[in-house]
């Protein structure tokens, strides 16, 4: 527009009114993209949400227990250490300016080391981005040497920041994302909702993500088949379930690891033959309390003549308050 150009007075007043009405509302929220280059429910999972109960009790935004006392962010977990070591990118949830970074901390679980080993360094390797209007996002537990930005850099939404790691106060590979507005922690799933409320507030996630990020009261993290007993460490390392199952295998064992289970949950894992007959079943007693993760398996030793070639199925089911809460069916081919 030329300097001498003028809008009609009525149009100018209408435009100013629109800005006054829209400006504050627009400044109140930020739209977030997925901060991890993964597929929710397939190659990554939400382990914890923001704790919305200021008391020692725990409550996520749906009045569930997928949090822990004082948790300030959302944890995006990858299923195994092998997946983390292969490399899972951390992405900017929104555009802005990088304020601070930390790198150089080793990728080692605090299990066995103790929390005191990371005192005042709980976030591990990570960074802080300013999005303007009082909005910030913080990214924690990133891989040593992976950070791709430095203080002062301007980043775009979706830009690569580094990789998921195991640094700081963590026992499993994940990204911890904290969102703040004017220095206060915000739950991106329930912005504006009162403390201890259920299902209120507004989602800050971009609309295309909301179905994928719909609340899941527990998830299946790993499944597979092995030729003998399976240990949690083998599942975490991504080693379990790699062997080929043949008719002369010493045993056929189905295993599953779940996250976000609740006290009272009843679990059943059933191993089925190619013709649908039950070969083995493991029915666990009701859980005595909430469990961040849980492993179980069901198996059968090699029968006379070996395992018949074909496709064997396993069915895992979690019953909660008398209703199915989680169900997963997986299978393996037994071949010569």
State the first-to-last Cα distance of the chain, in angstroms, to the nearest integer: 77
CA–CA separation, 170 and 78 (whole Å): 13
Please choose, from the candidates 315, 170, 181, the residue with its C-alpha nearest in 3D space to the C-alpha of residue 254: 315
Evaluate if residue 14 carries a pLDDT over 60.
no
Q: What span, in angstroms and rounded, lies between the C-alpha atoms of 38 and 83?
A: 11
Q: Kindly report, residue by residue over 303-314, the tens digit of the pLDDT.
A: 999 999 999 999
* pTM score above 0.75: yes
271 and 319 Cβ atoms separated by less than 8 Å: no
pLDDT band of residue 231 (cuts 50, 70, 90) is very high
**Residue range 281-301: mean pLDDT, rounded:** 95
Asked if the model's pLDDT at residue 273 lies above 80, the reply is: yes
pLDDT of residue 16: 35
Q: What is the pLDDT of residue 125?
A: 98
The pLDDT of residue 11 is 40
Residues 213, 66 contacting (CB under 8 angstroms): no
pLDDT-based confidence at 268, cuts 50/70/90? very high
The pLDDT value given to residue 12: 36
pLDDT of res. 94 = 98
- pLDDT tens, position by position, 101-144: 999 999 999 887 888 888 889 999 999 999 999 999 999 999 99
Is 149 in contact with 125 (CB distance < 8 Å)? no
pLDDT at 29: 86
Cβ atoms within 10 Å, residue 44 = 22
Map residue 303 onto helix, strand or coil. coil
Which has the closest alpha carbon to 235: 257, 209, 264? 257
Distance CA 113, CA 168 (A): 11
pLDDT of residue 330: 98
Which of 261, 75, 268 has its CA nearest to residue 168? 75
Strand order in the sheet with 266-272: 278-284, 266-272, 310-320, 323-334
Residue 26 binned pLDDT confidence (cut-offs 50, 70, 90)? very low
Give the three-class secondary structure for 316: strand
Radius of gyration of the chain (CA): 24
């Amino acid at each position: 527009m030329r300097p001498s150009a003028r809008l009609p007075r009525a149009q100018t007043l209408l435009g100013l009114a629109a800005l006054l009405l829209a400006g504050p509302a627009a400044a109140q929220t930020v739209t977030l993209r997925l901060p991890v280059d993964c597929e929710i429910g397939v190659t990554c999972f939400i382990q914890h949400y923001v704790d919305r109960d200021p008391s020692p009790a725990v409550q996520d935004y749906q009045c569930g227990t997928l949090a822990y006392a004082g948790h300030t962010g959302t944890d995006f977990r990858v299923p195994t250490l092998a997946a983390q070591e292969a490399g899972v990118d951390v992405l900017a949830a929104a555009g802005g300016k990088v304020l601070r970074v930390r790198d150089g901390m080793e990728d080692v679980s605090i299990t066995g080391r103790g929390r005191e080993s990371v005192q005042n360094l709980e976030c591990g390797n990570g960074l802080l981005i300013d999005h303007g209007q009082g909005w910030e996002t913080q990214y924690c537990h990133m891989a040593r040497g992976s950070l791709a930005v430095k203080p002062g850099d301007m980043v775009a939404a979706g830009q690569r920041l580094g990789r998921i790691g195991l640094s700081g106060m963590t026992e499993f590979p994940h990204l911890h994302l904290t969102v703040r507005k004017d220095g206060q922690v915000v739950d991106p799933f329930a912005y504006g909702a009162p403390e201890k409320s259920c299902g209120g507030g507004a989602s800050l996630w971009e609309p295309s993500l909301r179905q994928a990020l719909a609340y899941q009261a527990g998830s299946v993290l790993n499944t597979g088949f092995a030729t003998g007993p399976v240990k949690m460490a083998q599942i975490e390392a991504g080693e379990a379930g790699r062997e080929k199952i043949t008719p002369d295998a010493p045993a056929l064992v189905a295993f599953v690891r779940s996250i976000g289970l609740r006290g009272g949950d009843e679990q059943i894992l059933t191993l089925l033959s190619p013709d649908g007959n039950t070969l083995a079943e493991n029915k666990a007693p009701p859980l005595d309390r909430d469990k961040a993760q849980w492993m179980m398996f069901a198996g059968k030793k090699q029968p006379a003549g070996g395992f018949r070639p074909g496709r064997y199925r396993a069915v895992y089911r979690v019953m909660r308050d008398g209703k199915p809460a989680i169900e997963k069916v997986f299978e393996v081919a037994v071949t010569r």
